[in-house]
Amino acid sequence: MAMVQSVVVMMAAAPSILPRAELPSLSRLSPAPLLRSLGLGRQWDSVKVGPLTVSPMGIGTWAWGNQLLWGYEEEMDEELQRVFNFAISKGINFFDTADSYGTGKLNGRSELLLGKFIQEYRGGKEGLEKNVNIATKFAAYPWRLMPSQIVSACNGSLDRLEMDQLALGQLHWSTVNYAPFQEQALWDGLIAVYEQGLVKAIGVSNYGPKQLVRIHKYLQRRGVPLSSVQVQFSLLSKGIQQMEVKAVCDDLGIKLIAYSPLGLGMLTGKYSPTNVPQGPRGFLFKQVLPGLDPLLNTMRDIAEKRGKTISQVAINWCICKGAIPIPGVKSLQQAQDNLGALSWQLNGDEVARLEFVAEKAPRGMIQNIFQTA
């Protein structure tokens, strides 16, 4: 079972559908505060990730190219482009990907799709650089032993994305648990892509509180700011370590990015112990879902009173904790539903209720095997 669960967590390793005239202009991604005060346009404020100004929720693209866990097929590309177009039109300007996203021969597919969708959507390079923030992650493959190899990885991502500069370049995981000798080369590679102007900001993923402090100090000595850390963070992943990471972020001015804010789908209310998805996720769901009724019922109660969905409650909880959630999206319907997590906020009593019942759950999400202390 541990092996299957590890696989599930570890793997978080087309023509335009609308005529160009129908696509909203990228210049409308930042409506004036006056429009907001009049109840027009989006009703939420952007947030800062280092030098970046991004939407309070992003989109994760782990599923874009992943066949084993998410059932990707190339026939889905048109729907994924609809997702991208819709997100941009609604002001969602933060997309997270990775150079390892994609199964087998589809490795890098997520970046390729994002690059294609951007090219199909944008009216010009200036609008792209100003309004779309692409964050990618560089895998700590065992053969990446020198800083120059991270630079090469970054250039590979830029080629697939058809971009000159990334908004955010991140190390996908730390090697300190199994190959500590490799860690400094990865850190130096991250510094190199920043100093060479290949990225506007840098971050890390799957770093625990102790290792997060270490890399922050290392980068600080080199005069390089650490803008973000990405960890599994949700009502099913809010253990001591996650909250310690959050505390370090608050102390050091690092932005927390929450991946799997819907617990791989377990916090959507769509599944039950007798109705689980196929593949590795289904095995994990059968272990966790039987104890989640109190949490899901509480989420459902809050959602009904607010006129929201269970998924929107789960995502909004992450936002209330100061994180930027990046739920994965495979369909336009999911994108539309997720957008409903914005423009409102759970109150203190609701947050407390959710956390109380979440702590009583007999099982939570298994942590990524690459997560450090």
Question: Which are the catalytic amino acids?
Answer: 101
- Taking the CA atoms of 278, 69, 256 and 218 in sequence, report the sign of the dihedral they define: positive
Write the DSSP assignment of 17-46 as a string of letters. Answer: SS-GGGSPPGGGGS--HHHHHTT-S--S--
- Classified as helix, coil or strand, 169 is strand
Q: How far is CA 308 from CA 91, 272, 312, 315, 340, in A?
A: 20, 20, 6, 11, 7
Instruction: Give the single-character DSSP code of 241.
Output: H
Q: How far is Cα 205 from Cα 95, in angstroms, rounded to an integer?
A: 15
Identify the burial level of 23 via C-beta atoms within 10 angstroms of its C-beta, where 0-12 means exposed, 13-18 middle and 19 or more buried: middle
Provide the residue count of the chain.
373
φ/ψ of residue 232, rounded to 5: -70, 120
Q: Is the CB of residue 134 less than 8 Å from the CB of residue 95?
A: yes
Write the DSSP assignment of 300-338 as a string of letters. Answer: HHHHHHHT--HHHHHHHHHHHTT-EE--B--SHHHHHHH
